[in-house]
Structure 1
Amino acid sequence: MTLHRISAFAPIALLAACGPAQNARVAHTPPPPVRTEAGLDRVLGKDLRALISLFGTPNQDIREEPARKLQYASSVCVLDAYLYPPGPGREPLVTHVDARLPTGEDIDRASCIAALVRRKEAR
């Protein structure tokens, strides 16, 4: 073949190299498991009754449809539990929690949960 004929096929060869391989295997690895702090499972996914059973009556109960925020406060920490219904007509469940010291600085959420449980048990 002459150099002219080879150069005419070069773009086709390059495009063919960019295509998918016929026998390529795609590894399907599952996503890494969602990691939650130990102790959060005591609150996340729970309903109002479970929170009251765990912590007692909330210090604040704020409703802003469709959400509801329950706040539990102690001398150790303040915990905000946010409840949202998982679907129309379903009971709201805790989907997120925030925790802070009474001074407003962040604190480990699981530690706050444990402190609030101990407070209720001591009563």
Structure 2
Amino acid sequence: MIKNILPPTAMALLLAGCVSAPEVRAPARQPTPAASFSPRPAPAVIRGLESVIGKDANAVKRLFGEPRLDIVEVYGRKLQFVGTPCILDAFLYPERKGGREIVTYVDARRSDGAAVDRAACIEALQRR
């Protein structure tokens, strides 16, 4: 009878190859509180934007007319106004939980996507 016995060192090496490396875990993170409403801080008004920043949707519509887009999101709203010189996006968020939505940020660009001065775009859209 022939015995197929591996030398003990060979057996140890074979078994070592079957063992996986210990699992490395990232340090435990502090749990974050459940998602809750967090109103945006009062916007700092940049010169030339004061006719829009801090205004509600009705006031902005009186300045520029009906928006091309009026997108309502979970916590805010986006109004888009379009004119020959530029496209203006006004982003509105509640002043506080359950409060009225006001413009906290505006973005302006040309129809080809190139950025334009926001204050100049506001002025141009008000003149049309």
**TM-score, normalised relative to structure 2:** 0.64
Query: Which residues in structure 2 correspond to 1:1-123 (within 5 Å)?
Result: 36=46, 38-119=47-128
Q: Is the Cα contact below 8 Å between 2:45 and 2:53 reproduced in 1?
A: no
Q: Deviations over 1:70-122 (max 9, x none)?
A: 00011110000000001111010000000001110000000000010011xxx
Runs of 4+ that moved beyond 2 A: none
Q: Of Structure 1 and Structure 2, which has the larger fraction of its residues in helix? A: 1
What root-mean-square deviation, in Å, do the aligned CA atoms of Structure 1 and Structure 2 show? Answer: 1.1
Higher Cα Rg: structure 1 or 2?
2
In structure 1, runs of 5+ residues without a counterpart are 1-33
Q: Name the CA shift for 1:81/1:89 in 2 (closer, same or farther; >3 Å).
A: same
**TM-score, normalised relative to structure 1:** 0.66
Q: Name the CA shift for 1:66/1:107 in 2 (closer, same or farther; >3 Å).
A: same
Number of residue pairs matched?
A: 85
